[in-house]
């Protein structure tokens, strides 16, 4: 049953019961209307209270119905709200825990609202590229005032009920109830049972002392902050409609705007990302109720930039960490860096001194592997070399207690080979953090062929605890993200040989929406990292073609920001990328040696060659079972590689363009004599989907 009904004296209590957050799905809406009709028909009932079971009043729309006919089937949310408004008996919404989206719009359709302290109230639709679509932009300004309502609607951020109750002149809540919410709501319902006429939010006036000036200020501010996202400015216009139009006209404006936004590529991308992030936790052969191993203490090997950042994640979550290094000086430097990072947060007001002290109190250090023996999980963050990893894991195998999880922070190496260095391969897993590890959201969780299901489930749960977006990858060279970025970098090199400058390529990709182009990214990561991988490739895969430009750059010692020179020049202490005449000269000399006459290359070609190189490799990764689903690849790129959120990730972008069109472009690129024709051979999955008119999603 998705809504329950009970009688308390002369008050009917209707409880939404659709876990986990009482989403307003079709069955819930049907049961809700039936319960309302039952309460209306019962002459002994004088008032009605609506609340939610479990840990929410209602989180709004049921995401499991997104895009299905059930999402708009009658009775829809608008019908529910009209039914509430038409009730001849007072309806009191008793809000607690979470009241968001359609849940708040439902509450605004009630005659009265009471709330428990700490209830998180929000209209978060803007975060999926929409505006509220069931009266939120028209009713919220009537109960909170225009400015408070607009701030909530444009940001989509939750606000605690007691803070909203303090807003001057607010009529969102008639009462904040301490203690037993339901008992208090029933008592309040009895108090107002005979009050007539029944108050309706729609009948309240919307006023602002300087409406035109404020709205123009809002348009200017929101427009400057929401480039590439149409929904925030539409939120402003919908709230403006509440001021300028009659209620019913404003409702029509809101609904028309909502429907128009639903069709935009930005909205599709944001909805895709919303669902994709939640899908990453679903692992086909690992049941949701798999018992987890207890993780009470962590060990981290390596106190460098990566190891220190990894340790900070667990300290932030209140977990003790023991940090191991080979030499005391390296250990001291690592601890000093961790302290410096925390002190910077204190200076910015993001962290209080007592929190800094508490976190550092959880950190201990050692030079001895034997001191790691009582840790429940260990993560190594040592140099990316298989021989080094072998030495580390053999020592861990000797000292770690039975059942401890042994994790490698490798970014490219074979986790199965690393597991084979131990007598407990079932306990070994890859945890690929991204730098800086204490900031970046992505965590690639690499599942070896012997990795136990409970180990995988435990690491995924731990990743959630430290607020990472965890994506499961199978074992291959580079896993998901780095395997794809290698093809992206290869294609960027070919563009240089054909006529582009590094700055031109970067600007085209940044205009597309990438956080930074491939050459700025190379300078940030360190060009020597790619050089190390290419040297390995030349031996392992001599048939693979690379542009020599990146090797020539490294031969000049231009490794990037850390050396003050890479594809760009850098001033001491600054990160501004300054185009380098020396690099341009180097590229031009290389072209001349190849006998290449440079040509003018447009931004569209740059973007499509680079993005489609990601898409094609992504299709291979799905086909090989390295990634479980296309949306997992999108989450890797959205949370770890700066791919624009409004594009939804490379696989989502390919679906938007149309896979037939992607393949047609690839065939065209293959005709370029200076490119690599084999590079543009469509992956079998991509070719099949394009031929069948299907999409990755």
Give the model's confidence band at 168: pLDDT under 50 very low, under 70 low, under 90 confident, else very high. confident
- Which residue, of 446, 473, 500, is where some domain finishes? 473
- Cβ 373 vs Cβ 400: under 8 Å: yes
Q: What is the DSSP string of 419-469?
A: HTTSS-GGGEEEEEE-SSTTT--EEEEE--TT--HHHHHHHHHHHHHTT-E
Same domain, 489 and 603: yes
The predicted structure's pLDDT at residue 65? 81
Residue 98 lies in a domain: yes
Find, among 653, 616, 661, 608, the residue nearest to 634 by Cα.
Answer: 653
The reported pLDDT for the residue numbered 245 is 97
**Residue 420 shares a structural domain with residue 307:** yes
Place of tokens 């990601």: 614
Question: What is the torsional sign of CA 447, 452, 454, 459?
Answer: negative
Q: In the structure encoding, which two tokens stand for residue 692, read together? A: 């069948």
Do residue 210 and residue 349 come from a single domain?
no
Same domain assignment for residues 60 and 118 = yes
Closest C-alpha among 167, 114, 104, 110 to residue 140 = 104
Whether residues 221 and 312 fall in one domain: no
pLDDT tens readout for residues 341-372: 999 999 999 999 999 999 999 999 999 999 99
Q: What is the CATH number of the domain that holds 550?
A: 1.10.1040.50
Same-domain pairing of 465 and 500: no
Tokens 């639903």 correspond to what residue?
A: 262
User: Which pairs from 73-76 meet CB under 8 Å and 24+ separation?
Assistant: 73/26, 75/29, 75/30, 75/32, 75/33, 76/29
Do 465 and 507 fall within a single domain? Answer: no
Report the CATH number that the domain containing residue 97 is assigned in CATH. Answer: 3.90.226.10
| Cα–Cα distance measured from residue 300 to residue 364, given in angstroms and rounded to the nearest whole number | 10
Q: Output the average pLDDT for the chain.
A: 96
Among 129-138, 413-422, 541-550, name the one with the lowest average pLDDT.
541-550
Domain assignment of residue 579, yes or no: yes
Q: What is the mean pLDDT of residues 158-176?
A: 94
The catalytic residue among 105, 254, 605, 617 is: 105
Q: pLDDT tens digits for 261-271?
A: 999 999 999 99
In a domain, 507, yes or no: yes
Please tell me whether residues 582 and 460 are part of one structural domain: no
The predicted pLDDT at position 63 comes to: 75
85, 175: one domain: yes
Is 608 part of any domain? Answer: yes
CATH number at residue 404: 3.40.50.720
Instruction: Answer yes or no: do 462 and 498 share one domain.
Output: no
Tell whether the model's pLDDT for residue 529 goes beyond 90.
no
The pTM is what?
0.92
One domain for residues 216 and 344: no
In a domain, 686, yes or no: yes
Q: How many angstroms separate the CA atoms of 192 and 92, rounded?
A: 9
Q: In 205-244, which positions are buried (b, 16+ CB within 10 angstroms) versus exposed (e)?
A: ebebeeeeebbeebeeebeeebeebbbbbbbbbbbbbbbe
Choose between 1 and 603: higher pLDDT.
603
Residues 315-344, mean pLDDT to the nearest whole number: 96
Total tally of structural domains belonging to the chain: 3
Question: What does the pLDDT look like over 2-41, one tens digit per residue?
Answer: 999 999 999 999 999 999 999 999 999 999 999 999 999 9
Beta-strand relationship, 120-122 and 159-160: antiparallel
Q: Is position 125 annotated as part of the catalytic site?
A: yes
Which of the following is catalytic: 6, 34, 74, 125? 125
**What pLDDT shows up at residue 435?**
86
Q: Is residue 280 part of a domain?
A: no
Determine the pLDDT at residue 349: 93
pLDDT at 71 over 90: no
Of the three residues 431, 453, 473, the one that is the final residue of a domain is 473
Residue where one domain finishes, among candidates 439, 473, 507: 473
Q: Percent of the chain scored above 70 by pLDDT?
A: 100
Range(s) of the domain holding residue 384: 298-473
| Token couple for 526 | 């360190």
Q: Are residues 332 and 306 in the same domain?
A: yes
- What average pLDDT does range 463-475 have in this prediction? 97
Residues 6+ positions from 220 with CB-CB distance below 8 Å: none
Decide if 273 is inside a domain: no
* Residue 655 covered by a domain: yes
């Amino acid at each position: 049953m998705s809504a329950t009904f009970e009688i308390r004296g002369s008050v009917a209590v209707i409880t939404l019961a659709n876990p986990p957050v009482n989403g307003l799905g079709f069955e819930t809406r049907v049961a809700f209307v039936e319960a309302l009709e039952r309460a209306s028909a019962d002459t002994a009932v004088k008032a009605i209270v609506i609340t939610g079971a479990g840990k929410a009043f209602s989180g709004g729309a049921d995401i499991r119905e997104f895009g299905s006919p059930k999402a708009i089937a009658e009775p829809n949310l608008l019908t529910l709200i009209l039914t509430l408004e038409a009730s001849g008996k007072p309806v009191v919404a008793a809000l607690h825990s979470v009241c968001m989206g359609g849940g708040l719009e439902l509450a605004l359709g009630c005659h009265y609202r009471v709330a428990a302290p700490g209830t998180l109230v929000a209209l978060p639709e803007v975060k999926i590229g929409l505006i509220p679509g069931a009266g939120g932009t028209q009713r919220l300004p009537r109960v909170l005032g225009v400015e408070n309502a607009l701030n909530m609607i444009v940001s989509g951020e939750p606000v605690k009920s007691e803070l909203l109750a303090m807003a001057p002149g607010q009529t969102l809540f008639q009462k904040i109830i301490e203690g037993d919410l339901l008992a208090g709501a029933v008592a309040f319902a009895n108090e107002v049972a005979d009050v007539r006429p029944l108050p309706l939010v729609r009948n309240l006036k919307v006023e602002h002392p300087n409406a035109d000036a404020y709205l123009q200020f809002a348009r200017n501010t929101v427009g400057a902050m929401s480039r590439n996202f149409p929904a925030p400015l539409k939120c402003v216009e919908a709230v403006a409609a509440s001021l300028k139009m009659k209620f019913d006209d404003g409702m029509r404006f809101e609904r028309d705007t909502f429907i128009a936004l639903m069709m935009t590529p930005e909205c599709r991308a944001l909805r895709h990302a919303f669902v994709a992030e939640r899908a990453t936790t679903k692992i086909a052969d690992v049941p949701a109720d798999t018992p987890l191993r207890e993780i009470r203490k962590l060990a981290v090997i390596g106190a460098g930039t990566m190891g220190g950042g990894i340790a900070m994640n667990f300290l932030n979550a209140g977990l003790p960490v023991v940090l191991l290094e080979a030499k005391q000086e390296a250990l001291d430097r690592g601890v000093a860096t961790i302290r410096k990072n925390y002190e910077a947060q204190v200076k910015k007001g993001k962290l209080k001194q007592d929190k800094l002290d508490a976190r550092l109190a959880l950190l201990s250090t050692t030079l001895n592997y034997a001191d790691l023996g009582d840790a429940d999980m260990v993560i190594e963050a040592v140099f990316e070399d298989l021989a080094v990893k072998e030495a580390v894991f053999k020592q861990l195998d000797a000292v770690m207690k039975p059942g401890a999880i042994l994790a490698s922070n490798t970014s490219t190496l074979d986790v199965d080979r690393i597991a084979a260095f131990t007598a407990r391969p079932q306990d070994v897993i890859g945890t690929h953090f991204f730098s800086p590890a204490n900031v970046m959201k992505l965590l690639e969780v690499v599942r070896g062929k012997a990795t136990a299901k409970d180990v995988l489930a435990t690491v995924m749960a731990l990743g959630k605890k430290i607020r990472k977006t965890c994506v499961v990858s199978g074992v291959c060279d580079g896993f998901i993200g780095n395997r794809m970025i290698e093809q992206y970098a290869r294609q960027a090199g070919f563009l240089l040989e054909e006529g582009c400058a590094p700055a031109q390529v970067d600007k085209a990709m940044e205009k597309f929406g990438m956080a930074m182009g491939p050459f700025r990214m190379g300078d940030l990561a360190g060009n020597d990292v790619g050089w190390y991988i290419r040297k390995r490739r030349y031996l392992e895969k001599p048939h693979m073609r690379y542009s020599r430009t990146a090797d020539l750059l490294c031969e000049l010692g231009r490794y990037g920001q850390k050396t003050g020179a890479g594809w760009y020049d850098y001033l001491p202490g600054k990160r501004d990328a300054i185009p380098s005449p020396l690099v341009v000269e180097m590229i031009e000399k290389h072209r001349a040696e190849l006998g290449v006459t440079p040509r003018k290359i447009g931004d569209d070609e740059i973007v499509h060659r680079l993005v489609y190189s990601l898409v094609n490799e992504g299709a291979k990764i799905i086909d090989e079972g390295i990634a479980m689903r296309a949306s997992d690849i999108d989450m890797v790129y959205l949370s770890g590689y700066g791919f624009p959120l409004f594009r939804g990730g490379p696989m989502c972008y390919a679906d938007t363009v149309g896979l037939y069109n992607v393949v047609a472009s690839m065939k065209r690129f293959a005709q370029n004599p200076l490119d690599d024709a084999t590079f543009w051979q469509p992956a079998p999955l991509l070719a099949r989907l394009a031929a069948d008119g299907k999409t990755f999603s």
